[in-house]
Chains A and B, each alone.
Chain A
């Protein structure tokens, strides 16, 4: 089991020097192994989620089963469902994805072709650009849509305008990995993001989403499955990506971060404020792409799964399936009715939330994680940081390894903090 996990996500030899050191190691008796995983699923398919969570929180998930486990962690499936039920859901979702993809393909034939575009295909007013090298048939459909209603027309244009932005980012995402040397894999990532942008028109595509999506595309071979895994991850993260004229969604998490530091370390908060860092914008990227840029690929995945395990709520699937509106997330089951056995099906972080009745969705574990990073760097920040440049420098050299963070946040008693 202690084999090299990075062999699962090979890095191009010329990029070895540029990537952060990998710290994650699969550890016997701690990491969720394939054998353990299979043993946790009963004959009819029922998953012992409590046992699985316990393992993940101790040592992450072995790369050979990451994709399958993530689907549960993110709430794609109910751990109490049967294999049969899950197969049906999977089939239904794959069909849905195929329908959306066909819709998109009709408008822009490059989608699903194994290629992608990095140059604009339409101008701001929706007219096709001169350069149609990759966009041969789309003119007809463009005209067809133009005859339809104008609201849809606007949405189509908006979506088409974002496609080359996605392309520009896809060709720059995880470039160190051998996986993305192949154009068809880049195209897979591009397709998933393009179709997501079409389906979730409120958010569309915002830079950073390619960082979130890329691991799903690598872990789940089937493109539709990768899409749904990403779509479920986005249910947690999408508010961060919401942009209005005056602010970006992630700023509400930054506000909470600011309040946390103000309470747990007023001196540090004051210091940061003196450096004009009171808005905590230096932590913007950590929250947007969940530490992907601070850690190696392997370590970031490890961190994510530990976080998701800790935040796990057994009602996730039901909440997602029953209602698509966000208010459902707040009507968690009454804390009084939860017995001890059920409580074990919650991740550590969520369990405390349930006990204390804490329901603020914005105080995600990630916010506390950033807080704990700031706390670990407290002395350096206080004594050495004379400007925001130093703050950024200190934080870019995160020597904290993912497993340390786990130990770290154990003594940060999150829900005791009252905003």
Chain B
């Protein structure tokens, strides 16, 4: 087997943590797969959280993107909520052919972000997926634009299946992160320390969690 850290991982300027959230079956995992490996296939439901890394050159910078993909079912929220911590970008996905996945963004998902995101400046992006099913569309583009304006986030419509706008979706988000000094600082700072260590410091320095 190849070593997991191949040479591509050696040089990168920034590491950003991104998070995908949204209702079950809106295509979060498909969107991620479409972005990371340019392919589309029928995927099984995500159990808990899944994870992918993508190396990309965006805005003239070499980037490592650590993208966490979450299960949509409400039951998993206790688990998924801990993944908001320290994310520089959050992608909220809905399915343009299912209205409730759109209404749940304001009813549920936006509230989750407020509750769990530790990052004031964190960039949010609204994504309407499955535009390849134009004939089944029930959520109009205008509605997405309005929601994004009201909520103060980026917006794009895409199709994980045809890959329309998939690259753009992640690029726009990352460009905005690169534009935000505090997030930029986080992205480079973690390089020196442990990249995945983002737990708040424990009151007790010893790590005796059990026994």
Interface flag for B201 (CB, 8 Å): no
Once A274-B194, A288-B48 are accepted as A-B contacts, the answer to whether A207 and B4 lie under 8 Å apart by CB is no
Whether A380 and B1, one on each chain, are in contact in the complex, defined by CB atoms closer than 8 angstroms, is yes
Whether B44 and A243, one on each chain, are in contact in the complex, defined by CB atoms closer than 8 angstroms, is no
Whether B51 and A388, one on each chain, are in contact in the complex, defined by CB atoms closer than 8 angstroms, is yes
Once A118-B25, A394-B4 are accepted as A-B contacts, the answer to whether A259 and B194 lie under 8 Å apart by CB is no
Once A387-B66, A388-B51 are accepted as A-B contacts, the answer to whether A207 and B207 lie under 8 Å apart by CB is no
* Interface size class of chain B, counting residues whose CB lies under 8 Å from the partner chain: 35 or more
Interface flag for B71 (CB, 8 Å): yes
In the assembly, what is the distance between CA of A243 and CA of B48, in Å? Answer: 12
Whether B24 and A207, one on each chain, are in contact in the complex, defined by CB atoms closer than 8 angstroms, is yes
Once A118-B25, A276-B198, A278-B209 are accepted as A-B contacts, the answer to whether A386 and B5 lie under 8 Å apart by CB is yes
Whether A165 and B5, one on each chain, are in contact in the complex, defined by CB atoms closer than 8 angstroms, is no
Residue of B nearest to A214 (CB): B44
Partner of A168 from the list B25, B49, B51, B207 (CB cut-off 8 Å) is: B25
Whether B24 and A384, one on each chain, are in contact in the complex, defined by CB atoms closer than 8 angstroms, is no
Once A118-B25, A172-B25 are accepted as A-B contacts, the answer to whether A18 and B41 lie under 8 Å apart by CB is yes
Interface flag for B182 (CB, 8 Å): no
Chain B residues lying within 8 Å of A278, measured Cβ to Cβ, are 207, 209
In the assembly, what is the distance between CA of A411 and CA of B121, in Å? Answer: 51
- Kindly identify, within residues 37 to 65 of chain B, every residue whose CB is under 8 Å from any CB belonging to chain A: 41-53
Once A206-B75, A245-B78, A258-B210 are accepted as A-B contacts, the answer to whether A293 and B1 lie under 8 Å apart by CB is no
Once A18-B41, A273-B207 are accepted as A-B contacts, the answer to whether A281 and B48 lie under 8 Å apart by CB is yes
Chain A residues lying within 8 Å of B175, measured Cβ to Cβ, are none
Chain A residues lying within 8 Å of B72, measured Cβ to Cβ, are 207
Whether B210 and A281, one on each chain, are in contact in the complex, defined by CB atoms closer than 8 angstroms, is no
Chain B residues lying within 8 Å of A394, measured Cβ to Cβ, are 4
Partner of B48 from the list A276, A285, A388 (CB cut-off 8 Å) is: A285
Interface flag for B195 (CB, 8 Å): yes
Chain A residues lying within 8 Å of B106, measured Cβ to Cβ, are none
Partner of B195 from the list A18, A206, A387 (CB cut-off 8 Å) is: A387
Residue of B25, B47, B196 with most chain A CB atoms under a 10 A cut-off: B47
Chain B contacts to A: CB under 8 angstroms: 1, 3-5, 9, 24-25, 41-53, 66, 71-73, 75-76, 78-79, 98, 100, 194-199, 207, 209-210
Chain A contacts to B: CB under 8 angstroms: 15, 18, 118-120, 165, 168-169, 172-176, 206-208, 210-211, 243-248, 255, 258-259, 262, 273-278, 281, 284-285, 288-289, 293, 380, 384-390, 392-394, 397, 399
